[in-house]
Amino acid sequence: MKPKPNRVLADYGLYFVLLALVLVSAILSPLFFSYNNLANLLTQASFTGLLALGMTFVILMGGIDLSVGSMVGFASILYATVLHGALFTFMPKEIFVYQGAPKLTPILPLPLDVLFVLAVGAFFGLISGFISYRFRIHSFIVTLCVMIFTRGLAVSYTHGQPLFGVPDSISYLAYGLPAKIPMPTIIWLGASLLCLLFLRYTRFGRGIYAVGGGEEAARLSGIQPAWYRIFPYIASGFFAALVGIMMSGRMGCGDPKIGQGWELDAIAAVVIGGTSLSGGKGSIGGTVVGVLIMGLVINILNLLEIQAYPQAMAKGIIIVGALALHSVLSRRRSR
Amino acid sequence: MNPSDAALLEARGITKIYPGVVALDNVDFQVNAGEVHCLAGENGAGKSTLIEIIGGSYTKDAGTIRLQGREVEFANPRHAQELGVAVLHQEIPILPHLSVAENIFLSRQPVSGARLISYAEMNRQARRWLEVIQADIDPRTLLGDLPISRQQLVSIAKALSLEARVIIFDEPSAVLTIAELKRLFQIIASLKAEGRGIVYISHRLEEIFEIGDRVTVLRNGKLAGTESIGRIDRGTLIKMLVGREIDESQTGGGASSVEGLAPVLEVRGLNRKGVLEDISFTLHKGEILGVYGLVGAGRTELARALIGADRVDSGDILLEGRKLKISSPREAIRNGLCLSPEDRKTQGVFLEKSVQDNICLPSLNSLKGGLFLSYGKIAKYAADFVSKLRIVTPHLQQYVKFLSGGNQQKVVLAKWLGMKLKVFIFDEPTRGIDVGAKEEIRGLIKKLAREGKAVIVISSEIPEILVISDRVAVMHEGRIEALLRRQEATREKLMAYSMGAKSE
């Protein structure tokens, strides 16, 4: 069977869109290809990109995870808490408006504190996945509840205040520039590569596709769905916690209110990347491109000096437009 | 007994009981190496239950299964596959977004040393199995991009790759064209030559005689007999399928003759590719036309086409001499046609709505007081039908899901009765309903006809068809094979025509 032109367009259409956006950006603004702009674009995209990786797992399996934005905020203050070695709930409110250099008494040494927060993120994912699987509640509702709960926990625990005093060592995760490449981008692309290998070259990865594409067919092929159902949420919680730690480093503080609405950016990027919301179809490669497309759209609007709210309007229209186009192309393909 | 003499698969005394129904009653069945054993029986005779048990999907309540003499207990389909029994379901569950090769090797993909999947190796092995059955399919194609016939070839390849000794085909001909079926028969013949045991389920007599070595017939969950194909003829087989209990066909029907009745609905040359073929009939005022056919014969599809739920490729539908252009159920209802669907629970009623809501929904337009809905009128309207049809419900606000099947069916009927419709189509109106309620529903349907409505009743139960119909249309492979008057219709004839036997 020779590929038909439409098929090429449907399979690689995403890359054409990416290319077109790069060209449009370059034409619209001479600043586009400047180092600062590109580094900035990539750094911004990396945070959405990491969330989108976990989200890809979840959506491939046929679920959705709304809790990642809140998890970023919670992980960010949890990390600061571990550094401070104190539970702040019982302290007077004034302590949060901390100006001077804090005296840190970290609970755990450096790699362990990060691992602890990552583990907590993964654990929250495990809870979401387990509840959704065991009690047959749609993940939309379960993760919505986890989202509300986690945000509430983060904000009430710190009285809504940021926790300062995050050391420079962790800021490197957000600001480091080895070989002039932003550190977040290296983490993002590295993680993407690992996820890609995992989903494409392991039986477990293929099992996620299978369960998402048709649970009964998967079961008849000898797959027990439970872990395939739960694991994606663990991955998603893990990546959200990672982003939370990186955000602490970036801002120099733990902020309970960070990450609001980020889950929607991640979902949009995954879907733009061609992953089907009904599960079983999609790829990490697509998600990476989807993230870049989202980043480019925002970048273009920034370069054109469009204000935040009109920018949001434009973003909404562009995302729906891209998906409609994609749907038309792929329907033509299946004929 | 020497294991090599033992049958490949031997099931003895298999019994399966569902609440209130004995689906299988002490059934014996065996498959030898190098044999094609056909399994036949009416709808609901227990064929599916038997193969699901042999395939490990269902558990049995009694009986033993032996593979080459050794007793086995299947925990799940995968377990049965590992022991060499593979079922090719009629509706093959597939993963459309994965490649052909992955569907074959799912959860058993060949891996390299680092436990990473080797796609090259997987595709190579898949290609080899596909070549065994001479299927020219690229293992890298997405399975969802293939037509059903080729998907079936893929599942045969999968069965081979599992080294299945017993391969069960569940009515494959229902989804295949004649040419594709020929290919399948060649493949089956070569599988047989390799010493595998084949179970072939079919409704079609000609297939059974063409491909089978032996045939086992089930009737009402019981074994009606196992015979060598060489020793029986069509007549004997039909007799085995039908049994001797013809006493159920009491006289019934409203009008004994349709002559002189005014035609209401005329259908001319209705075609839908692969589903309906040249369907023509006339339905008269006050007549009940029974439509009989086996599963997949196109009965439900015909009903859906008549009310515009599915598109047709060609053909005309005339209502009282006027040509109709029906493109949606809404139009059909406006023109006076309605359908009580086969799948009552999902398509006939709203389970999570009250009796009152269900009855009144299509008639809400006439239940207004001024601009707005009048709940007084609605309640009265619903209460009327509840008492008229004797729907057993504690009150009008009861959710329909709490009603018995018979009462749910009455709700469906009530829904349409108030709308002054002319043509009523019932698809399996008494399925899943207990005996007493069945009689009541049939009585209501007959009453409709006496009141001058034109009625079509689709049913897979021959006694029901014989009791209720004035005429019977027998469908087979999307065609109306025969249109019989009440007096000519017998159990044997319906059975024979529905299996594609031309008039003998």
Looking at the complex, does the CB of residue A4 fall below 8 Å from at least one CB of chain B? no
The CA distance from A259 to A244, in Å, is 8
* B130 Cα to chain A: minimum distance (Å): 17
- Number of domains within chain A: 1
- Least confident interval from A92-101, A206-215, B46-55, B209-218: A92-101
Provide the whole-model pTM.
Answer: 0.75
Interface contact A280-B109, CB threshold 8 A: no
What pLDDT, on the 0 to 100 scale, is given for residue B255? 45
Residues paired with residue B266 on neighbouring β-strands, in sequence order? B282, B318
Which residues of chain B make contact with A196, given a CB cutoff of 8 A? none
pLDDT at A191 over 90: yes
- Contact residues on chain A for B138, CB-CB shorter than 8 A: 1
**Calpha distance A247→A225 (Å, rounded):** 34
Q: How far is A264 from chain B (nearest CA, A)?
A: 25
Tell whether the model's pLDDT for residue B364 goes beyond 90.
Answer: no
| pLDDT at residue number B493 | 86
Which neighbouring-strand residues pair with B322? Answer: B319
Backbone phi, psi, residue B14, to 5°: -70, 130
| Residue B239 pLDDT greater than 60, yes or no | yes
B496 vs B1, which has greater pLDDT? B496
pLDDT of residue B283: 92
Residue written as tokens 């065996």?
B30
**Backbone dihedral region of B46: left (phi > 0), alpha (psi from -120 to 50 degrees) or beta?**
left
Classify strands B214-219 and B222-228 as parallel, antiparallel or unpaired: antiparallel
pLDDT in tens, B252-287: 444 456 667 788 999 999 999 888 999 999 999 999
Q: pLDDT band for position A3 (50/70/90)?
A: very low
Q: Judge contact between A190 and A196, C-beta under 8 A.
A: no
Token output for B7: 């049958």
| CATH number for the domain that contains residue A313 | 1.10.3470
Structure tokens at B268: 């001319």
* DSSP-derived secondary structure letter, B75: -
β-strand partners of B284: B263
Residue B500 or A213, more confident: A213
Least confident of A265-269, B149-153, B265-269: B149-153
Shortest Cα distance, chain A CAs vs residue B185, angstroms = 25
Q: Which residues contact B236 (CB under 8 A, 6 or more apart)?
A: B227
Choose the most confident range, by mean pLDDT, from A9-18, A228-237, B413-422, B462-471.
A228-237
Name residue, tokens 């008849």: A220
- How far A37 CA lies from chain B's nearest CA (Å)? 38
Q: B381 is written with which tokens? A: 């309207």
Residue type, B90: Q
- Cα separation, B278 vs B270, in Å, equals 5
CA distances from B292 to B250, B284, B295 (A): 17, 18, 10
Average pLDDT over residues A12-23: 85
Q: Do A220 and B116 touch (CB under 8 A)?
A: no
What pLDDT sits at residue B418? 81
Interface of B with A (CB under 8 A): 77-78, 81, 93-98, 102, 106-109, 111, 115-117, 138, 141, 145
Question: How much is the pLDDT for B236?
Answer: 85
What distance in Å separates the CA atoms of residue A107 and residue A115, rounded to the nearest whole number? 12
Q: Coil, strand, or helix at residue B337? A: strand
Over residues B182-201, mean pLDDT: 91
Q: What domains are defined for chain B? A: 9-242 (3.40.50.300), 262-336+421-499 (3.40.50.300), 346-420 (no CATH)
Nearest CA in chain B to A200: B117
- Tell me: the pLDDT tens digits for B28-57? 999 999 999 999 887 668 888 899 899 888
Distance from the A304 Cα atom to the nearest Cα atom in chain B, whole angstroms: 40
CB spacing of A1 vs B138 below 8 angstroms: yes
| pLDDT number for residue A82 | 82
- Please give the DSSP secondary-structure letter assigned to residue A38: H
Within an 8 Å CB–CB cutoff, is residue A209 touching chain B?
yes
On the 0-12 / 13-18 / 19+ scale of CB atoms within 10 A, B463 is: middle
Compare CB distances from B95 to A200, A280, A334 and report the shortest one's residue.
Answer: A280
Percent of chain B predicted with pLDDT > 70? 94
Q: What are phi and psi for residue A218, nearest 5 degrees? A: -65, -40
Tell me the two tokens of residue A200: 């494409």
Kind and range of the H or E element at B426? Answer: strand B423-427
pLDDT tops 50 at residue A4:
no
User: Which has more confidence, B5 or B338?
Assistant: B338
What is the token pair recorded at B50? 């038997």
Q: Distance of CA A164 to CAs A76, A161, A171, A250, B440, Å?
A: 11, 9, 13, 12, 78
Q: Report pLDDT for A16.
A: 84
Residue in B23, B22, B28 with CA at minimum distance from that of residue B9: B28
- Check CB contact of A2 with chain B, cutoff 8 Å: no
C-beta of residue B418 within 8 angstroms of C-beta of residue B389 = no
Q: Which amino acid belongs to residue B438?
A: K
Highest mean pLDDT pick, B124-128, B298-302, B369-373, B397-401: B124-128
Q: Which helix (H) or strand (E) holds B381?
A: helix B375-388
Q: Which residue of B has its CA nearest to A276?
A: B97
At B114 the pLDDT is: 82
Half-sphere exposure of A245 (CA within 13 A, CB side): 27
Q: Does A200 touch chain B (CB under 8 A)?
A: yes
For chain A positions 118-157, those within 8 Å of chain B (CB to CB) are none
d(CA A232, CA A68): 12
> How many Å apart are CA A179 and CA A266, to the nearest integer?
27
- Asked if the model's pLDDT at residue B179 lies above 50, the reply is yes
Query: How far is it, in rounded angstroms, from Cα A74 to Cα A76?
Result: 5
Percentage of residues of chain A with pLDDT beyond 90:
50
Question: Minimal Cα–Cα distance from A217 to chain B, Å?
Answer: 5
Q: How many helices (H) and strands (E) does chain B have?
A: 16, 22
pLDDT at B178 over 80: no
Q: What is the arithmetic mean of pLDDT over A221-226?
A: 83
Tell whether the model's pLDDT for residue B241 goes beyond 70: yes
| pLDDT tens per residue, range A79-127 | 988 877 655 545 555 555 454 445 566 677 778 889 999 999 999 999 9
How is residue A2 annotated by DSSP? P
- With vertex at residue B432, the alpha carbon angle to CA B427 and CA B434, rounded to the nearest 5 degrees, is 120
Confidence of residue B188 (pLDDT cuts 50, 70, 90): very high
* pLDDT interval class at B245 (50, 70, 90): very low
Q: Return the DSSP state at B229.
A: G
Best of B106, B112, B162 to disrupt the A interface (most A CBs within 10 Å) is: B106
Residue A239's domain spans which residues? Answer: 5-334
Counting Cα atoms < 13 Å in the Cβ hemisphere of A125 gives 33
Percentage, residues of chain B above pLDDT 90 = 37
Helix pair A68-84, A35-60: axis angle to 10 deg = 110
Indicate if the pLDDT at residue B356 is higher than 80. Answer: yes
How far is it, in rounded angstroms, from Cα B202 to Cα B199?
10
Instruction: With cut-offs at 50, 70 and 90, classify the pLDDT of residue A231.
Output: very high
Interface contact A201, partner B, CB < 8 A: yes
